[in-house]
Amino acid sequence: MLQEHARIVQFISMANEVTGRKKLQKMIYIAKKMNFPFAEKYELHMYGPYSEELTLRIEELCAMGFLAERCTDKGSYVQYSYRVTGEGEGFLEMADDAHAMLGTCIDSMNAKSSRFLELVSTLLYFDQLDKDEQIAKVLIVKSKLNFTVEEMTAAFEFISEMQTYAVQ
Amino acid sequence: MEYKDEKLVEEKVFKDPVHRYIHVRDKVIWDVIGTSEFQRLRRIKQLGTTYLVFHGAEHSRFHHSLGVYEIVRRIIDDGFSGRPEWNNEERLVTMCAALLHDLGHGPFSHAFEKVFDLDHEQFTQAILLGDTEVNAVLRRVAPDFPQKVADIIGKTYPDKLVVSLISSQIDADRMDYLQRDAYFTGVSYGHFDMERILRVMRPTEEQAVIKYSGMHAVEDYIMSRYQMYWQVYFHPVSRSAEVILTKILHRAKQLHASGYIFKQEPTHFHSFFDKTFVLEDYIALDENILMTYFQIWMKEEDAILSDLCYRFINRRLFQYAEFDPATEYRKIGELEQLFKEAGIDPAYYLVTDSSSDLPYDFYGPGEENERLPIYLQMKNGDLSELSRSSDVVDAISGKRRTDHKIYFPEDVLEAGKAKNPLYGRILHMLKG
């Protein structure tokens, strides 16, 4: 009960801080694709896989006082960062123990840009397709982002790395 | 004449309580409706467990799918056709996508997907692209036609205008389900002037927009949606039925995993319990089959499974109490412990549930959110985001409302509190 909320708090606690709503969305999606137990349902939206349920859960956790949201004006846009509050650390007692590899997975993702994670998560969204078809799909749905061949290569390498941390 | 252009000798109509008539002239549409996968939607209710609260809500996804098709057909044939921004080559594929957008829904979709970790949208794709009757009809149009339909529904189709007709904040899907669900539940919310909206809808490269003069009709639509969510879709009694339904499926799955011998083998569920299902297994399921199992399981030896099924079939639902997770999460732990001490399994009889809705939201630059806003087309042709012109919409834009409840078997606790003081203590904690 409230396990799904607790897992999100645990995830952010393990990351220490996540900067950017988009980045957080993609990190949870990638973790979910690596079979870590996240229940939020995702659909393809403007920035790739996006979960309304996760947005709602984050808003709830902020309203409950378990997460702190910091807002930074970046000129043309506003950036949000998330940390776990003292009250949230108490709430973490509700969470089951995290999988041993989740922390490594989070650290690797948190070191990447949100643009890169957007590419990785969108490729993963089409992972039932062959590699060439995956790339073709991404180039259609992300036509405005002009991903380069180098970025594609790096994204596939990153996916391979993530798969070594995946829950079997 | 090519199959894609073939027309029926005489137009066929389906009498419909919401749109009066559903008109079918295209042979492809008629053939798709006749496939077994589409007919299966007759056996899946549009509103799942809501019929236990609003007894009229027995309408199916078949009704709704035809309704979405009809709205899209009217938008294209009566509104967009002949306008330079609209490519009429997209007409048939758009209408097929409208008709088939819910094809992958399973029985009691939400609960079934949650328990078995499934996604109906993936099944929609699989039915469209797999070895199915629907696929065979669509392939007769062109080899890549099933994929095009799947791409529109999956929102990966290059023509964004086409996608927006099926999936946006003012799309044919929502316009149909709000009116249809209002009609069948009998509530007075959910009504808006769709004819007016269709008359003022205009095609642009990126999405369908609304002529400025239609703003008030759109305001009415947004408010209808807001009311329907809180009065119908999130009704706490309907949620209680959904909670019990979910727990039935969880219990059956858990019993199977523990090697329990069912009196009646749940053969339809085996491949879902074991995660070995194929598309054929999924298509074979419908709500009639699940209800039959629930009837049979009322006689099972397992007390929890039989009790939950009895509750669902006979509408002996759980009671609910308000619950604030921010201040009361520790209380949940205490209640779970008390339930265990009282001999009631909290995994099945103590359930928290949240409902939440965002009636309308707009997309700002950066990372505000991911929703495409509704645009008004001003007199000079410029586009203006709806909440900038509408005070009514501005008042509810971006405002999410959330409601938390805790469900429990009050009947058992009330009946047993005289003998077992723990029951009384639990009731006091839950109800104050």
Greatest CA span in chain A, whole angstroms? 47
Give a yes or no: residue B390 inside a domain: no
Which residue, of B294, B317, B340, is where some domain finishes?
B317
Give a yes or no: residue B370 inside a domain: no
Give a yes or no: residue B146 inside a domain: yes
Residues B126 and B275 both lie in one domain:
no
Domains identified in chain B, total number:
2
Assign residue B317 a region: left if phi > 0, alpha if psi is -120 to 50, beta otherwise?
Answer: beta
A20 touches chain B (CB under 8 A): yes
What CATH number is given to the structural domain containing B243? 1.20.1250.30
Average pLDDT rounded to a whole number, residues B213-237: 91
Q: What angle do CA B143, B145, B146 make, to 5 degrees?
A: 100
Asked whether the CA dihedral B294, B296, B302, B308 is positive or negative, the reply is positive
**Range with the lowest mean pLDDT among A27-41, A59-73, B62-76, B389-403?**
B389-403
Nearest CA in chain A to B368: A78
pLDDT band at B347 (very low <50, low <70, confident <90, very high): very high
A29 touches chain B (CB under 8 A): no
Give a yes or no: residue B48 inside a domain: yes
Average pLDDT rounded to a whole number, residues B199-216: 94
| CA pair distance B333, A1, nearest whole angstrom | 9
State the pLDDT at residue B158.
Answer: 87
Domain around B58: 3-233
State the pLDDT at residue B262.
Answer: 96
| CA pair distance B324, B160, nearest whole angstrom | 41
Average pLDDT rounded to a whole number, residues B139-165: 94
State the pLDDT at residue B245.
Answer: 97
Q: Does position B139 have pLDDT exceeding 70, yes or no?
A: yes
| CA pair distance B176, B172, nearest whole angstrom | 6
pLDDT above 90 coverage of chain B, percent: 81
pLDDT above 70 coverage of chain B, percent: 97
State the pLDDT at residue B365.
Answer: 37
Give a yes or no: residue B353 inside a domain: no
CA-CA distances (angstroms) from residue B328 to A57, A64, B332, B339?
Answer: 17, 10, 7, 17
Which residue, of B283, B317, B351, is where some domain finishes?
B317
Buried-exposed string B134-155: b where 16+ CB fall within 10 A, e elsewhere: bbebbebbeeebbbbbbbbbbb
List CB contacts (< 8 A) between A52 and chain B.
358
Residues B203 and B285 both lie in one domain:
no
Which residue, of B292, B317, B342, is where some domain finishes?
B317
State the pLDDT at residue A55.
Answer: 87
Give a yes or no: residue B351 inside a domain: no
B154 touches chain A (CB under 8 A): yes
Q: Does position B144 have pLDDT exceeding 90, yes or no?
A: yes
Q: Does position B371 have pLDDT exceeding 70, yes or no?
A: no
Residues B134 and B55 both lie in one domain:
yes
CA-CA distances (angstroms) from residue B61 to A93, A151, B21, B30, B246?
Answer: 42, 42, 17, 17, 20
Q: Chain B: nearest CA to A156, how far in angstroms?
A: 21
Residues B111 and B164 both lie in one domain:
yes
What ipTM does this complex have? Answer: 0.77
Residues B283 and B225 both lie in one domain:
no
pLDDT in tens, A97-152: 888 899 999 999 999 998 999 999 999 999 988 999 899 888 887 777 788 889 99
Residues B220 and B166 both lie in one domain:
yes
| CA pair distance B100, B28, nearest whole angstrom | 12
Q: How many CB atoms lie within 10 A of CB B43?
A: 15
Mean pLDDT, chain A, integer: 89
Q: Which residues pair with B136 in a beta bridge?
A: none
Residues B36 and B151 both lie in one domain:
yes
Residues B288 and B210 both lie in one domain:
no
Which 3-state string (H, E, C) describes B186-249?
CCCCCCCCHHHHHHHEEECCCCEEEEHHHHHHHHHHHHHHHHHHHHHHCCHHHHHHHHHHHHHH
Q: Does position B59 have pLDDT exceeding 80, yes or no?
A: yes
Does B365 sit within 8 Å of A1, measured CB to CB? Answer: no
What CATH number is given to the structural domain containing B176? 1.10.3210.10
| CA pair distance B94, B76, nearest whole angstrom | 9
Nearest CA in chain A to B364: A77
Beta-carbon contacts of A158 under 8 Å, excluding residues fewer than 6 positions away, are A108, A112, A116, A120
Give a yes or no: residue B198 inside a domain: yes
Average pLDDT rounded to a whole number, residues B71-84: 96
Nearest CA in chain A to B400: A56
Q: How many CB atoms lie within 10 A of CB B265?
A: 10
pLDDT in tens, B270-317: 999 999 999 999 999 999 999 999 999 999 999 999 999 999 999 999
State the pLDDT at residue B367.
Answer: 44
Residues B223 and B241 both lie in one domain:
no
pLDDT in tens, A55-97: 888 988 998 899 999 988 777 777 889 999 999 998 888 777 8
Residues B94 and B191 both lie in one domain:
yes
**Range with the lowest mean pLDDT among B194-203, B368-377, B422-431?**
B368-377
Residues B54 and B200 both lie in one domain:
yes
Q: Does position B364 have pLDDT exceeding 50, yes or no?
A: no
DSSP at B322: E
Greatest CA span in chain B, whole angstroms? 79
Whether residue B30 contacts residue B11, with contact meaning beta carbons closer than 8 Å, is answered with no
List CB contacts (< 8 A) between A41 and chain B.
119
Residues B79 and B173 both lie in one domain:
yes
